[in-house]
Amino acid sequence: MLLKLLALCLFTFLIYVPIAEARIRHYKWEVKYEYKSPDCYKKLVITINGKSPGPTILAQEGDTVIVEVTNKLLLENLAIHWHGIRQIGTPWSDGTEGVTQCPVVPGDTFKYQFKVDRAGTYLYYAHYGMQRESGLYGSIRVSVRDNFTEPFAYDYDRSIILTDWYHNSTYEQATGLSSKPFVWVGEPQSLLIQGKGKFNCSSSSLTAGTCNTSNSECSPYAITVIPGKTYRLRVASLTALSALSFQIEGHNMTVVEADGHYVEPFVVKNLFIYSGETYSVLIKADQDPSRNYWMTTSVVSRNSTTPQGLAFLNYYPNHPRRSPPTVAPAGPIWNDRAPRLNQSQAIKAHHDFIVTPPTTSDRVIVFLNTQNEINGYRHWSVNNVSFTLPHTPYLIALKKKLHHVFSQTPPPEGYDSVNYDIYNVSKNPNATTSNAIYRLGFNTTVDIILQNANTMNVNDSETHPWHLHGHDFWVLGYGKGKFDMNKDPKNYNLVNPIMKNTVPLHPYGWTAIRFKADNPGAWLFHCHIEAHFYLGMGVVFEEGIDKVGELPSSIMGCGPARNPPVQSNLQPQTQSHMSLDATDKPSSIMGCGETKGFDKP
Ligand SMILES: *[C@@H]1O[C@H](CO)[C@@H](O)[C@H](O)[C@H]1NC(C)=O
Ligand SMILES: *[C@@H]1O[C@H](CO)[C@@H](O)[C@H](O)[C@H]1NC(C)=O
Ligand SMILES: *[C@@H]1O[C@H](CO)[C@@H](O)[C@H](O)[C@H]1NC(C)=O
Ligand SMILES: *[C@@H]1O[C@H](CO)[C@@H](O)[C@H](O)[C@H]1NC(C)=O
Ligand SMILES: *[C@@H]1O[C@H](CO)[C@@H](O)[C@H](O)[C@H]1NC(C)=O
Ligand SMILES: *[C@@H]1O[C@H](CO)[C@@H](O)[C@H](O)[C@H]1NC(C)=O
Ligand SMILES: *[C@@H]1O[C@H](CO)[C@@H](O)[C@H](O)[C@H]1NC(C)=O
Ligand SMILES: *[C@@H]1O[C@H](CO)[C@@H](O)[C@H](O)[C@H]1NC(C)=O
Ligand SMILES: *[C@@H]1O[C@H](CO)[C@@H](O)[C@H](O)[C@H]1NC(C)=O
Ligand SMILES: *[C@@H]1O[C@H](CO)[C@@H](O)[C@H](O)[C@H]1NC(C)=O
Ligand SMILES: *[C@@H]1O[C@H](CO)[C@@H](O)[C@H](O)[C@H]1NC(C)=O
Ligand SMILES: *[C@@H]1O[C@H](CO)[C@@H](O)[C@H](O)[C@H]1NC(C)=O
Ligand SMILES: [Cu+2]
C-alpha cells in the first residue's frame, strides 16, 4: 500500500506555472493494465496512474495542457485523443492513431501539448483500435476566465462519465468482428456510472473468485449533495455501443451546456445522451433530505438485455451507501424515437451566445450510413465505402506529400438517393474498403448531411453518434426519412443553432451540420460506436495542409532515441503562443510506416 502510494506520488503531479493569465497544466501519466472489478466482475482494465476513469484534467480557458504519457501496457500500442479540444495550431496532438500520429509503442513516453482555448466540458480517451472500451478515459473540465460570468448560477460543480461495459476483452471482440462468420459483440454486460456498476454475479456460471458483489470496487457511485444547494452536473457518455437515457429520481434537470457551448435552458426529466456527447445540467437538491435517490442510466434505441446502471444521489448527512427506499425508476421505452428526436431538436444556442453560421455553404456532402458485406465480411460504411486506416498517418503523409501511401481516388460525395430504399435491407454488393480522404478547400463552408438507412436486418436502423475532430459544427437540423435536397435546407436553423462536436443520427432519419474548414490539419469524422468505426464507419477531412507548421523532427520515430528528454523549464513565450514555428514541437507523431526516421537529424 505504502509502495503504491509512493508510486502514485511519483507519477501524479501537477505544476502550475503562472504566465500572465494563462497557465501550464502539466500531468504525468502511466498507463497500464490492472485487474479491476468495476461491476464486480474481475477483468483486465486499462488504468491511468492506477485509476479508471483516469484523473480529471482541470484547467482554465487559455491554459496550455501538457500530458506526458508513458505506455506501460507491455504488449499494446497507445494513443490518447482530447475530445472537443480543437487543437488549433497543434494538429499533431489530436491523438488519433493513423490520422495524426503513429501509435505510442510499449515503453515509450509521448508528450501531448495543446491549448484549451474554450471553457466547457470535454473528454479524453484512448484512440487506438477499440482501446477506449478497456477503461482508458476521463474528463477535461475547462473553467471560464476569471472575470467571466456564466449565464446560470450554481453552488457546486461535479463531473460523471457514463459508459457501458463488456466482460470480453477488446481482443475477443475485434477477433469476432473481423471473422467470417461475423461475431457481433452483443449487448454490454453492465452500464457504469463514473466507472462503477453492478453485475449480477449469480446470474451466470462463473469461475469462483471472478465475481463478488461484496467487492468495494463495485459499490454504487454516489454524488453527495447538501440540501437546498444547486449542482452543475457535467454528464458525458463514452459508451462503446449504447445510446442512454440518464435520470435522477425525483429531480428535474435543466440543460445548460452541450459540448462546450451554452444552451438556451430547457428542463428534462430524463436526458438522452449519445457516446461522445457532454452536457451540463443543473439540479437542485430540493427533495425530502431524509433519504437518498436513484441516478440511473438505461439503454435506448436497442432492444437491450443490459440492466440499468445505478448510482445514488446522496443527501447529506445520509450515508452515501444507503440505498434509496424505492425501486429505481424504469427508463423510457427503448424504441420510442419521438422524444429522442424532440430532445435533439430542443437544443439551441443560448440567446446571449449565438454564433451565427454562414448562410450558405460551398460544398454539400451526403453520407449514407449503412451496414455492408465485403467478400462475406461484415462492415459499416458511408456511401458504400468502408473506411480503413493507412499504415502511415495522414497528417504526415499529406505534409510530406507521400501520395502513394493512401488512395488518391476521391471518395463519393453522395449516394443514389433516387433509387436507394433506406427502409429496406440492402445487400450493397458493391461496397468497397478505401483509405481515400475528402480534401476541403481551406476556409470554405462545408455541409454534411448524414443519412440513415436500414441495416442488414429487417426493420432495423441504428443510432450513430458522429464526432468531428478539430472543429465544432453548427447543427442545422434533424429530420425523419430521406433528406430532400430541395425542401429540407429551407428549414435549416440558421438563427440559433447549437454548435457541437458530436451529434446523433437517429434511426431512419437525417442530420445536417455545417462547419468552416479553417483548422489546418487532417481530421477524423466518425461514428463513435467502437465496433462501427472499427469496421469502417468514418471518413477523414484534410484542410489547409500547407498551413500546418513544420512537423516535429526532434521526436520523430517511436524509439527512445528519437524521443528527446522532456524540457522541464518551459519558456512562457514559447508555451503561451503554441505557434506553428515554435522549436519545442512534438515530432513524436512520426516513426511508423514510411515516416520512420524521416527528417532525422
Ligand atoms: C478581464 O480580465 C482581463 C485580465 O485579467 C482584463 O484584461 C479584461 O479587461 C477583463 N475584462 C473585463 C470585462 O473585466
Ligand atoms: C466472448 O469471447 C468468447 C471467447 O473467449 C467467444 O466465444 C464469445 O463468442 C465472445 N462473446 C461475444 C459476445 O463476443
Ligand atoms: C441474479 O440472478 C439470479 C439467478 O438468475 C436471480 O435469481 C436473482 O434474482 C438475480 N438478482 C438480481 C438482483 O437481479
Ligand atoms: C467477496 O468479497 C468480500 C469482501 O471483500 C469477502 O469478504 C468475501 O470473502 C468474498 N467472497 C468470495 C466468495 O470470494
Ligand atoms: C419536473 O417537471 C415537471 C414538468 O415540468 C413537473 O410537473 C414536476 O413537478 C417537476 N418535478 C420536480 C421535482 O420539480
Ligand atoms: C425485444 O427482445 C425480446 C427478447 O429479449 C423479445 O421478446 C421482444 O420481442 C423484442 N422486442 C421487439 C420490439 O423486437
Ligand atoms: C419536446 O421537448 C420539449 C423541450 O424539452 C418539451 O417541453 C416537450 O414536452 C417535448 N415534447 C414531447 C412530445 O416529448
Ligand atoms: C451502393 O450500393 C447500392 C446497392 O448496390 C446502390 O444502390 C447505391 O447506389 C450504391 N451507392 C453508391 C454511392 O455507390
Ligand atoms: C424490400 O426489397 C424486396 C426485394 O429486394 C422487396 O420484395 C420488398 O417489397 C421490399 N420491401 C419494402 C418494404 O420495400
Ligand atoms: C456493381 O458495380 C458494377 C460495375 O462497377 C456494376 O456494373 C453493377 O451494376 C453494380 N451492381 C450493383 C448491384 O450496384
Ligand atoms: C476566411 O473566410 C472569412 C470569410 O468567411 C474571411 O473573413 C477570412 O479572412 C478568411 N480567412 C482566411 C485565413 O482566409
Ligand atoms: C419495427 O421496429 C419498430 C421498433 O424498432 C417497431 O415499433 C415496429 O413495430 C416494427 N415493425 C415491424 C413491421 O416489425
Ligand atoms: Cu454507428
For 181-225, what is the HEC assignment?
CCCCCCCCCEEEECCECCCCCCCCCCCCCCECCCCHHHCCCEEEE
d(Cα 300, Cα 293) in Å, to the nearest integer? Answer: 22
- Give pLDDT tens digits for 528-545: 999 999 999 999 999 999
Asked if 252 and 270 touch (Cβ cutoff 8 Å), the reply is no
Q: Match 459499416 to its residue by C-alpha cell.
A: 380
Ligand 1 midpoint to CA 23 (Å): 16
3-state DSSP assignment of residue 289: coil
The pLDDT value recorded for residue 585 is: 47
| Residue 9 pLDDT class (50, 70, 90 cuts) | very low
How is the chain split into domains, by residue range? 20-148, 150-201+209-353, 363-549
Atom of ligand 9 nearest to the CA of 424: 1
| Residue 590 pLDDT class (50, 70, 90 cuts) | low
Query: Is domain 20-148 annotated with CATH 3.40.50.720?
Result: no
DSSP 8-state code for residue 342? H
The pLDDT value recorded for residue 562 is: 39
The pLDDT value recorded for residue 429 is: 77
Of the listed ranges 145-154, 174-183, 275-284, 401-410, the least confidently predicted one is 401-410
The mean per-residue pLDDT over the stretch 97-102 comes to: 92
- Amino acid identity of residue 375, one-letter, is N
Q: What's the CA angle centered on 400, arms 394 and 406, to 5 degrees?
A: 40
| Residue 595 pLDDT class (50, 70, 90 cuts) | low
The pLDDT value recorded for residue 1 is: 40
Percent over 90 (pLDDT), the chain: 82
Atom of ligand 2 nearest to the CA of 172: 2
Nearest protein CA to atom 9 of ligand 1, as residue: 147
- Amino acid identity of residue 325, one-letter, is P
* Pocket probe mutation, ligand 3, options 199, 200, 310, max atoms within 8 Å of Cβ: 200
Q: For residue 126, give the nearest of 48, 179, 68 by alpha carbon.
A: 48
The pLDDT value recorded for residue 204 is: 66
The mean per-residue pLDDT over the stretch 76-105 comes to: 94
CA-based R_g, the chain, Å? 23
**Sheet strands side by side (includes 243-248):** 222-225, 309-315, 293-300, 243-248, 270-273
Ligand 7 midpoint to CA 339 (Å): 7
d(Cα 69, Cα 262) in Å, to the nearest integer? Answer: 32
Helix, strand, coil percent content, the chain, rounded in steps of 5: 10, 35, 50
Nearest protein CA to atom 8 of ligand 9, as residue: 424
The pLDDT value recorded for residue 392 is: 86
- For the entire predicted model, the pTM comes to 0.90
Which carries the bigger pLDDT value, residue 572 or residue 226? 226
Atom of ligand 1 nearest to the CA of 21: 5
The pLDDT value recorded for residue 588 is: 54
Res. 576: pLDDT tops 60: no
- Cβ 342 under 6 angstroms from ligand 7: yes
| Residue 579 pLDDT class (50, 70, 90 cuts) | very low
Ligand 11 midpoint to CA 511 (Å): 26
DSSP 8-state code for residue 3? H
- Amino acid identity of residue 46, one-letter, is I
Q: Which CATH architecture has domain 363-549?
A: Sandwich (2.60)
**Sheet strands side by side (includes 156-165):** 190-193, 156-165, 230-237, 278-284, 253-258, 261-268
Nearest protein CA to atom 13 of ligand 8, as residue: 415
d(Cα 267, Cα 230) in Å, to the nearest integer? Answer: 14
Cβ-Cβ contacts under 8 Å for 598 (sequence gap 6 or more): 396, 400, 556, 590
Q: For residue 108, give the nearest of 596, 513, 559, 526 by alpha carbon.
A: 559
Ligand 2 midpoint to CA 204 (Å): 14
Ligand 2 midpoint to CA 182 (Å): 12
Q: Match 487506438 to its residue by C-alpha cell.
A: 128
Ligand 12 midpoint to CA 459 (Å): 6
* Pocket probe mutation, ligand 7, options 342, 344, 348, 498, max atoms within 8 Å of Cβ: 342
Q: CATH top-level class for 150-201+209-353?
A: mainly beta
The mean per-residue pLDDT over the stretch 376-398 comes to: 93
